[in-house]
Amino acid sequence: MQRIFLAEDSSRIASFIVKGLSSSGYLVDHVSDGNQVLPGLKRAKYDLLILDIGLPNREGLSILEELRGTGNDIPVIVLTARDSVETTVASFQSGADDYMSKPFSFEELLARVKTRIRTKSAEPLTEKSNSVLTKGNISLDLVSRRVKVGPNEHELTAREFMMLELLMKNPGQVISREQLLDRVWGLDHDPGSNVVDVYVRYLRQKLGSEAITTVRGSGYKLS
């Protein structure tokens, strides 16, 4: 059974996460104080860390920087009430694999948990740094949210970036339209919409027509 370490000082949010993840088949250990995080991670082998930035006594990004400084590559999802570009950039620069702004839906959190754990257990992508993913001739910068295809660089919209990030972190795996809708559009999506197909077309215009493969009746995968 996979084990998750949760660092969250809000008892309401922590209870919400622990109950949801436990009912989904995960073992969850929880602390509410920043000084308890690093010692707690040494007590067992964890598959994922969910880390709130605003912890008492020690700030979350400081914990993350020290964790990465020791060479620990556990997947980390950062939780934050600070929904800003600066916080996003700081999270990735400190070593986060993903982040979520509060408030959030449990369904989205669970999807991200599964993705991070699955990606960690799969064959890793070539990474030029903590913030750049590379697959073939495609390089995705998680901080600037720009993609480079060979010598050519392109800007991405927020939704194009989220789609490409999901595909690149699951190389060779088919991602269904439903998964893309849930992850990229969240609660705002219409199940009958063709918006996924539209955005795949946008990405192909920037990456090349062969970069994303359509798996008929199933979804899409990065070629």
What pLDDT does 191 receive?
A: 62
Percentage of the chain exceeding pLDDT 70: 90
In the chain, CATH 3.40.50.2300 sits at: 3-121
Write phi, then psi, for 73 (nearest 5 degrees): -105, 25
Mean pLDDT of the chain: 85
**Statement: residue 11 has pLDDT above 50:** yes
What pLDDT does 122 receive?
A: 56
Name the CATH superfamily for 3-121. Response regulator (3.40.50.2300)
Whether the CB-CB separation of 18 and 26 falls below 8 Å is answered with: no
Concatenating the DSSP letter of every residue in 76-111 gives EEEEES--SHHHHHHHHHHT-SEEEESS--HHHHHH
Percentage of the chain exceeding pLDDT 90: 40
Multiple choice CATH, 126-222, 1.10.10.10, 3.10.129.10, 1.10.3720.10, 3.50.50.60: 1.10.10.10
What pLDDT does 38 receive?
A: 96
What pLDDT does 28 receive?
A: 93
pLDDT in tens, 173-218: 888 888 888 777 664 556 667 888 899 999 999 999 899 999 988 8
What pLDDT does 66 receive?
A: 94
Confidence of residue 131 (pLDDT cuts 50, 70, 90): confident
Whether the CB-CB separation of 111 and 183 falls below 8 Å is answered with: yes
What pLDDT does 127 receive?
A: 42
What pLDDT does 129 receive?
A: 47
pLDDT in tens, 60-117: 999 999 999 988 989 999 998 876 778 878 888 889 988 888 888 888 899 889 888 8
**Statement: residue 152 has pLDDT above 80:** yes
Higher pLDDT residue, 178 or 53?
53
- Structural tokens at position 98: 């993903």
In the chain, CATH 1.10.10.10 sits at: 126-222
**CA distance linking residue 174 with residue 106, whole number of Å:** 23
What pLDDT does 52 receive?
A: 95
